[in-house]
Amino acid sequence: MSKISLIVKREYLTRVRKKSFLIMTILTPILMVALIFIPGYLATKEDNQEKIIAVLDKTNITEGTIPQTEYMKFEYIEDSDLETLKKNFGQSGYYAILYIPENVLVTSRVQLYSNQQTTMNVSSHISDALKNFFTQIKLKNENVPLDIMERIKTRIGVDTIQWTSSGEEKEGSAEIVSVIGYISGFLMYMFIFMFGAQVMRGVMEEKTSRIVEVIISSVKPFQLMMGKVIGIALVGLTQFIIWIALSFGLFYGAKGILLADNGKAATSITQNLMQPNQPGLNATVDANQFQKVFDDITTKFETVNFTLIIACFVFFFIGGYLLYASLYAAVGSAVDNETDTQQFMLPITIPVILGLLIMINAMQTPNSTISVVFSIIPLTSPIVMMARIPYGVPYWQLGLSALFLVLTFLGSIWMAGKIYRTGILMYGKKVNYAELWKWIRYKN
């Protein structure tokens, strides 16, 4: 077994056996799914605190308009005024006082008084009931039939149909494509930063602890650097594969959870994701309706070329990681502590952040000039290209981007090897860019 292989094996096994690696690899996709589904599930659990709300209606027309619930009761108060109710509020046992002024149709505002912060559920319940009631009042005043509101409500869905050069049609979803593009690009951004930093810290730890002096006696500096870079790359790929498997498992496993309680959890999640006060939003979604929605989403997912996306992700991750990890390794070998890394990190960090910003633009205009250019430039292509691929990228652009990335990371590894060879055994000297340039020009 070659010396590089031994170093790769050591770096890989050392990291994947850590408890932190196992915990984060398993917990990350679970936490992501939990952030989406748990709030909706908890929203189905009703507040069982009994709330009696006094209603002071100056219009004298809304009695019985606001529906009672199991834990929310409304008592209409007559022959009283607001100041008296507020003064005796502590002894009344009321949860709140709802004041409906005479000019409510003009101001479109009512007031809810309480000695504690009322919940959003209470406010929404009151607002929805009064909104529907006064809408009917306005329709009646305009001599419009009361049932016209239901008849004129219209929701238009957009089915995205894409046809190929052979004339075949397939249904897609702009939302799903955008989400996949964003997740792919953001994961690339996160992996490059996270694992590149691991390379830099690993090199610095070995240098400052003087362990590297022992290792260098058995292997060449370039072999040590490559072994460390490749070993950590395999750790990243292992984590990515596990995340993909867990994500698909959780996606289909969530189906059973969302269909429980007759689809109430699905309803809450849908409402949380929709814009507030969106017209035409149905208040209930039963299990059969959500089953249809779930099947529709699954069908649209099947139209996405996940084989191409995963293959490209692996390639661009390896290429982008090798490019940046070699630069991180060079920085780690050139300095003695993390404070000294700041002057060298900025030129490495700026392209990565720029790639993330361009990625957001690419999700809106995947074929714009700026998106195409930055998906081919090697320093930003791993992030931007992953955002464009779900929309469909010409193969010549994929090939050109891949070629430039390979050539650039080969050049960066050669340059980093030059810096690593000299800097790994140098201590106590403040290094600048001029010094690094001299190291690169040193002959073997």
Residue by residue, pLDDT tens for the chain (444 residues) are 577 788 888 888 888 888 878 887 887 777 776 766 666 556 555 556 788 888 888 888 888 888 888 788 898 888 778 888 888 888 888 888 888 888 888 888 888 888 888 877 888 888 888 888 888 888 777 777 766 666 776 666 566 665 555 656 555 556 677 777 788 888 888 888 888 888 888 777 777 777 776 777 777 777 777 888 888 888 888 887 887 777 777 766 655 555 554 444 444 444 444 444 443 334 444 445 555 555 555 666 666 677 888 888 888 888 888 888 888 888 887 877 767 777 788 888 888 889 888 988 888 888 888 989 999 999 899 889 988 888 888 889 999 999 999 999 888 888 888 887 777 777 767 777 787 788 777 765
Tokens of 220: 């060449």
Tokens of 359: 């990625």
For residue 403, what pLDDT is reported?
94
Rounded to 5°, the CA angle 193-195-198 comes to: 105
- Pick from 81, 88, 73: which is nearest to 57 by CA? 81
Cα–Cα distance measured from residue 270 to residue 291, given in angstroms and rounded to the nearest whole number:
13
In this prediction the pTM is 0.61
Q: Phi, psi at residue 185, to the nearest 5°?
A: -65, -40
Cα–Cα distance measured from residue 281 to residue 395, given in angstroms and rounded to the nearest whole number:
42
Q: Where are the alpha helices (DSSP H) in 303-424?
A: 306-334, 342-364, 369-374, 381-388, 395-423
- Pick from 210, 297, 304: which is nearest to 251 by CA? 297
Tokens of 110: 């009512």
Between β-strands 169-172 and 160-163, what pairing exists: parallel, antiparallel or unpaired? antiparallel
110 CB burial (10 A radius; 0-12, 13-18, 19+): middle
Residues with Cβ < 8 Å from 172, sequence gap 6 or more? Answer: 160, 161, 162, 300, 303, 304
For residue 299, what pLDDT is reported?
60
Rounded to 5°, the CA angle 65-67-73 comes to: 115
Which string of b and e fits 375-384 if b means at least 16 CB within 10 Å?
Answer: bbbbbbbbbb
Q: Decide if 334 contacts 200 (C-beta within 8 A).
A: no
- Enumerate helices (H) and strands (E) in the chain, giving the number of each: 18, 6
- Side chain identity, residue 381: S
Q: Where in the chain is the domain with CATH 3.40.190.10?
A: 51-148
CATH homologous superfamily of 51-148 equals Periplasmic binding protein-like II (3.40.190.10)
For residue 259, what pLDDT is reported?
52
Tokens of 219: 């292997």
Cα–Cα distance measured from residue 41 to residue 252, given in angstroms and rounded to the nearest whole number:
16
